[in-house]
Homo-oligomer: A and B are copies of this chain.
Amino acid sequence: MTLGRIKRFFLGEPLSNQMAESARIPKWKALALMSSDALSSTAYATEEILIPLAALSALAVSWSMPVAGAIALLLIIITISYRQTIRAYPGGGSAYVVAKENLGQGAGLVAGAALLIDYTLTVAVSVAAGVANIDSAIPMLQGHRELFSAIVILLIMVVHLRGKHDAGALLVLPTYFFIGSFLLLLGSGTMNLLNGRAVPVAPILHETYPEIPLFLLLRSFASGCAALSGVESIANSVTSFQEPRTKNAKTTLLWMATILAVFFVGLSLLAHVYGIMPQADETVISQLARAVFGKTGLYYLFQGFTALILFTAANTAFEGFPRLCSMLARDRYLPRQLASVGDRLVFSNGIMGLSFLAIFLIVLFEGNVHRLIPLYAVGVFLSFTLSQAGMLRHHWQDREPGWIRALLIHGFGAITTLVVLAVIAATKFSHGAWMVIAVMPFIVLLFTRIHAHYLSVGRELSLDGVTPSRQLHKVKHTVIIPISGIHRGVIEALRYAISISDDVRACYVELDPGATDRIRSEWTRWAHDIPFVVLKSPFRSVVRPMLEYIDDVAECCHDEVVTVIIPEFVTSKWRYSLLHNQTAFLIRAALLFKRNRVVTSVRYHLKA
């Protein structure tokens, strides 16, 4: 089959189960694969803090450092919490699992919905931010953001459809490139200040801060919280680590949080000291890199690596989204086919769904990161909060050794993230958070409707309470073959028909009474032992007399099933099929919703 070959060309050979077993990864690789989302958010988080402040006044921007400090503190709280979660859920502590198991189905579904939204926004925001950083370096490219972003997403989609194995090797480098170049930026930036090559525009900490509205300060904080997205991904993927899994995952999380904290605070600090203000057509990180490196090759390289890690960040979502869909599908909250793993098309339905949703969002928001961010943070912190609350309940019920410490950690974490969630929802509501809040109930409703359907189908199909008979009983059935003439295709269909039943009847709808005798005499020549029934059609309809005859036969013969065998043609070229099989199609459609009718096509392969 040609389609198969095309699929294999783009997606590679299928992976066996054994290969999946051996795909457990070491810490250094896990760090690269799982922290691209978190680390890459440094590329836009500082800018998001600055935008609301700069909108008020140039002075207000001095608040950026305290805000960044608060977010760093929040990162520490969340990291400590998730290290606890890793220990308690070595099987993967996704917010969906944690909330479902400890807080019940409802909370689980809300967490699931929040996570699905997050994954989609991770792709949209990361790719849009990556494109923005390329734009900043090469202004010539500006103006085609949406198109550029869509192409990037489609490329990532194809890479990802090739499966985890290939993707892994490919996606380790960008994270380390980024870490290296970012360290260079922070180092050079600091050196420049120390050796006087750059003059600080503002002090690190101000003695007095201008009075600004609290709401604005909170909005700045809420925007900056985008830096924390992706922190949970290591906790979700504990199963991917080499043994000892838990320990390795905890260590990797700590590394990741440390790097993130240093990068985020360091960048915010340098941006502040260098006096950088957000601008429409150049990102803050690009401005800073330009100030530190000048317009050298190093600057372009830095921008390239930044864009690269942002694109790579979408990887976390491309891993997580289909896996979450699969979990939801196995719990019967999503269509069953999302649960299945076919060929290398690992969760391919989920992967493609995610790509198209992300492209839709990018087109809707014109590829503008700043407009996408408000949608992002709500979901992130909703899932944080539910996860923390679930863990709180978990430790309260289990009371395993160290439970009091865990209770304190998660209690504090839950309260903190809940407060942050409230702040985000309140300060970003009108900027887009309302959309997420409005869509969430519909997603949860969809989950529950699907679930209810599967449950009721399960009940209906269940054999519980039925005693098996010693032997299965055969079905009493008659075969009817509609024919319009006698040719090789009909002969094949007749041979099949007499093979599956002793009661076979051919029926012929008489549209032109002149032709009937000729066909009847041909019939006796070719198939004299099969009854030939002529149906009158006063209204010149082919299908209706046929249906009535089928009903009559079912009734007269006390049939459990009537099989209608339709001789069909398979033409050599698809377009020729439009010239055949119209009546077959009509009969099939008419019988589709009738009980106890089986429609079987016996296909004759034409050379023509």
Contact = CB atoms under 8 A, between A and B. Distances in A.
Interface of A: 1, 14-18, 335-337, 340-344, 450, 453-454, 456-457, 460-463, 468, 471-477, 486-489, 491, 494-496, 498-501, 511, 525-527, 529-530, 538-544, 561, 563, 569-571, 576, 578-580, 582-583, 590, 592-593, 595, 598-608
Contacts of A496: 475, 477, 561, 598
Contacts of A457: 569, 580, 606, 608
A590 B342 CA distance: 14
Contacts of A489: 461
Counted per complex, copies of this chain come to: 2
A401 to B, nearest CB: 32
Contacts of A337: 582-583
30 contacts: A1-B590, A17-B540, A335-B579, A336-B579, A337-B583, A340-B542, A341-B540, A453-B571, A454-B579, A457-B580, A457-B606, A457-B608, A460-B607, A460-B608, A461-B488, A461-B489, A462-B488, A463-B526, A468-B526, A472-B494, A472-B529, A474-B499, A475-B495, A475-B499, A476-B499, A477-B500, A500-B500, A500-B563, A598-B602, A598-B603
A592 B568 CA distance: 12
A357 to B, nearest CB: 17
Nearest to A526: B468
A525 B342 contact: no
Contacts of A498: 472, 474
A576 to B, nearest CB: 6
A342 B463 contact: no
A325 to B, nearest CB: 14
Closest 9 CB pairs of A and B: A461-B487, A500-B500, A14-B539, A456-B608, A337-B582, A474-B499, A475-B499, A16-B538, A341-B540
A474 B453 contact: no
Instruction: Say what secondary structure dominates the interface of chain A.
Output: mixed
A538 B529 CA distance: 49
B335 A578 contact: yes
Contacts of A576: 453
Nearest to A479: B500
Contacts of A583: 337
| Max chain B C-beta neighbours (<10 A), residue from A498, A525, A539, A541 | A539
Contacts of A456: 607-608
A417 B544 CA distance: 48
Contacts of A542: 340, 342
Nearest to A346: B540
A510 to B, nearest CB: 10
Contacts of A529: 471-472
Contacts of A495: 472-475
A528 to B, nearest CB: 9
Contacts of A453: 571, 576, 579, 608
A544 B14 CA distance: 11
B538 A343 contact: no
B541 A14 contact: yes
Nearest to A337: B582
A342 B541 contact: yes
Contacts of A592: 570
Nearest to A16: B538
A462 to B, nearest CB: 7
Contacts of A335: 578-579, 582
A118 B152 CA distance: 50
A599 B496 CA distance: 13
Contacts of A454: 579
Nearest to A604: B461
A448 to B, nearest CB: 14
A460 B488 contact: yes
Contacts of A578: 335
A526 to B, nearest CB: 5
A16 to B, nearest CB: 4
B606 A460 contact: yes
A454 to B, nearest CB: 7
Contacts of A600: 598, 600
A595 B605 contact: yes
A563 B496 CA distance: 10
